Amino acid sequence: MPNAPAKLSREQRKESFILLGRRLGELARCLAEDRPPPGSGALPGFFQAALQAESLNPWFTRENIITALRALSRMLEPERMDSWLGSYHLPGEGDAFRQRTVLVVMAGNIPLVGFHDMMCVLLSGHRLLAKTASSDPLLPRALGVLLCEMDPGWTERMVFADGPAGSFDAVIATGSDNSARYFDHYFGKYPHIIRRNRHAAAILTGSESPGELERLGEDVFSYFGLGCRNVSLLWLPEGYDPGILARAWQPWLRLTHHPRYRNNYDFHKAVLTVNKTAHTDTGFCLLRQNPALASPLSVIHWQSYRKLQEAHDLAHSLAGRLQCLVASEVPGSLKALHAGFGQTQWPGPGDYADGVDTMAFLGRL
């Protein structure tokens, strides 16, 4: 890897990602309208990678890739980027700054889930050494090609490893609780961020509007519920009728058209039925009373509470395992986790996974 990458000023780095946001928005529109971007180069190449992604990973449907691209495009809007980056000192070319190589081990549960780490490394002035997930090998690379086409200065700052990662100075790795133990063993001697399983929950009071409940369906079912920001547990007031949710979420009946989702739904329905476990069958998901934060695909857990404070206490007890918490409002101790209805899959650039400030970590290297 070169010792002296091409110069990119602080402003150039930021403007590259703002422009990237516009390009990703354009790609989302092209995919939604089933029309390839005109010309040749990285943009049409990304379009083709998006079409190929589903053949490699059936969970990466066109709808899910479009959702991911739209979310990233919004994240990269100029006002959001300016507000976020204003809190940090981004090194300029004249600053006394030791550039490090940061290995980013990406997850692959939803499309481009490793983008934020990739962006933080590059904006911070360090070199990126990326190891893509086997379930998402195409999209991060296509995004890297697009970024380098927009500004060739990125070319020497970004490497995607096909085999062993090679030499690096720090690590950001995302995976399951099991893979985190592996990461701890192999990367523990380096400065690191190692992420484990996280989930999302929601607190309902019974006074939610039909629109809020419908938007909650996006928090639950976007990406088939495979993301760490997908709601898997609901806290409901005592006496709440889960059938209200079944009616509000009817648009998501379309998920049963996907063979793998349908297989999960049919399997868990059979298990609950054979075991005579009480549940509400909506025709596309299964609502089951269970206090566990993690739920199987197509199954949504819920737990009742008598007083709202009880729900807040339950959320507080699980805060270390929550990625976000959907509610109308929450007390101060939970505000860092709070997301509005329908907003969990639209994080801003400052919404760090696991609550760990990635830019601050990179700034200390």
% the chain with pLDDT above 90: 87
Residue 345 CB: number of other CB atoms within 10 A? 21
Nearest to 244 by CA among 271, 265, 216, 276: 216
Per-residue pLDDT tens digits for 166-176: 799 999 999 88
Strand, helix or coil at 208?
coil
Q: Hey, what are 151's tokens?
A: 């500004």
pLDDT surpassing 70 at residue 6 = no
The pLDDT, as a whole number, for residue 2 is: 43
- Over residues 129-154, the mean pLDDT reads 96
Name the one residue in this structure whose structure tokens are 């997930």: 133
Alpha-carbon separation of residue 21 from 81, 167, 351 (angstroms): 10, 31, 17
The pLDDT, as a whole number, for residue 93 is: 57
- Over residues 89-117, the mean pLDDT reads 87
Residue 265 CB: number of other CB atoms within 10 A? 23
The pLDDT, as a whole number, for residue 39 is: 85
Nearest to 228 by CA among 124, 79, 134, 116: 116
Domains defined for the chain, CATH in brackets: 10-197 (3.40.605.10), 199-339 (3.40.309.10)
Do the beta carbons of residue 81 and residue 18 sit within 8 Å? yes
The pLDDT, as a whole number, for residue 165 is: 72
Q: Is the pTM of this model over 0.85?
A: yes
- Over residues 190-219, the mean pLDDT reads 96
Helix or strand holding residue 243 (H, E): helix 243-248
% the chain with pLDDT above 70: 97
The pLDDT, as a whole number, for residue 193 is: 96
pLDDT surpassing 50 at residue 187 = yes
pLDDT surpassing 80 at residue 94 = no
- Over residues 51-72, the mean pLDDT reads 97
Strands 286-289 and 158-160: unpaired
Rounded to whole angstroms, the maximal C-alpha distance in the chain is 69
Distance between CA atoms of 189 and 358, rounded to whole angstroms? 18
Q: Which residue has the higher pLDDT, 163 or 202?
A: 202
User: What average pLDDT does the chain have?
Assistant: 94
pLDDT surpassing 70 at residue 96 = no
The pLDDT, as a whole number, for residue 95 is: 63
Distance between CA atoms of 183 and 108, rounded to whole angstroms? 16
Per-residue pLDDT tens digits for 211-268: 999 999 999 999 999 999 999 999 999 999 999 999 999 999 999 999 999 999 999 9
Provide the pLDDT confidence category of residue 179 given band limits of 50, 70 and 90. confident
pLDDT surpassing 90 at residue 345 = yes
Nearest to 147 by CA among 290, 21, 30: 21
Torsion of CA 66, 67, 73, 76, to 10 degrees: -150
- Strands in 299-305's sheet, in edge-to-edge order, are 280-281, 286-289, 299-305, 231-237, 199-203, 322-326, 338-339
Strand, helix or coil at 301?
strand
pLDDT surpassing 60 at residue 3 = no
The pLDDT, as a whole number, for residue 330 is: 94
Q: What are phi and psi of 40, to 5 degrees?
A: -130, 170
pLDDT surpassing 60 at residue 5 = no
